[in-house]
Amino acid sequence: MGYFVTVEPGVKLYVEDINPAGSKTIVFLHGWPLSHDQFEYQFDVLPGMGYRCIGIDWRGFGKSDRPYDGYNLERLADDIRAVVTALQLKDFVLGGHSTGGAIAIKYVVRYNGGGVSKLVLIDAAAPRGFTEENAAQLLKQTLNDRANMMLGVTNIFFFRYITKPFSDWFNQMGMEAAGWSTAAVIIMLRDFDLTSDLTRIQLPTLIVHGIHDQVIPFRQAEEMHRIIPHSRLVPFIYSGHGSFYDERDKFNQLMQEFIGAATG
């Protein structure tokens, strides 16, 4: 089921809550400039394994409200905290893809765990996001031809072949975001550095990263693994930036193994 949660006056986030009766909860944070829908092929499978799966659209993206401001890691982490509090979530697994991984890191550090029992970083944009050069190019494209920018992102996102209908669906997902939020997060990705935050993570952490990632290079996953105390790095050798789809069967099985068995 889907519903909206107020995170500050005038701003509501869309939440997709699948199998609320599941014995263990996984909260998914999508990547830029997508929505919770990117995890369709997890939501199709993991609830059947007994998990409660929650997808949250950040402000400005997907079905959530689209205010003009608030696009920094601290505010985005605070938004997640508001949802966690409203849903009274405890002892849950937090999984973040790409920029969602950066938000997940900021959340667990800012809130001293914040009820998270295990952390999953999926092709995460950490310790850093975009280079100044890449950010400048993406920002120019976003402000002049956002549809073409999104097509370019799709073209380098996956390692395995995707069909044209899948590509069209993926592009449309990115276009659901506001143009201003898409641009603001590019600037955020250009400017942050989470190196010091990584040293403060004390949770069991699974790092999943495609070795062919053209968005966030695999070397950054290796750097995270060196810095995060209790981390495990699993390279996905047939994946690009979309390991959750490129090797979805392996990904879903790995999630089950890392989180622990749940009764269906």
Report all structural domains of the chain as residue ranges with CATH numbers, in order of start. Answer: 2-259 (3.40.50.1820)
Tens of pLDDT, residue by residue over 113-152, are 999 999 999 999 999 999 999 999 999 999 999 999 999 9
pTM: 0.97
Please compute the mean of the pLDDT values over residues 23-45 and round it to a whole number: 97
- pLDDT over 60 at 70, yes or no: yes
Tens of pLDDT, residue by residue over 157-199, are 999 999 999 999 999 999 999 999 999 999 999 999 999 999 9
DSSP sequence for the chain: -EEEEEEETTEEEEEEEE-TT-SEEEEEEPPTT--GGGGHHHHTTGGGGTEEEEEEPPTTSTTS---SS--SHHHHHHHHHHHHHHHT--SEEEEEETHHHHHHHHHHHHTTTTTEEEEEEES---SB---HHHHHHHHHHHHH-HHHHHHHHHHHH-SS---HHHHHHHHHHHHTS-HHHHHHHHHHHHH-B-HHHHTT--S-EEEEEETT-SSS-HHHHHHHHHHSTTEEEEEETT-SS-HHHHTHHHHHHHHHHHH-----
Catalytic residues: 98, 213, 241
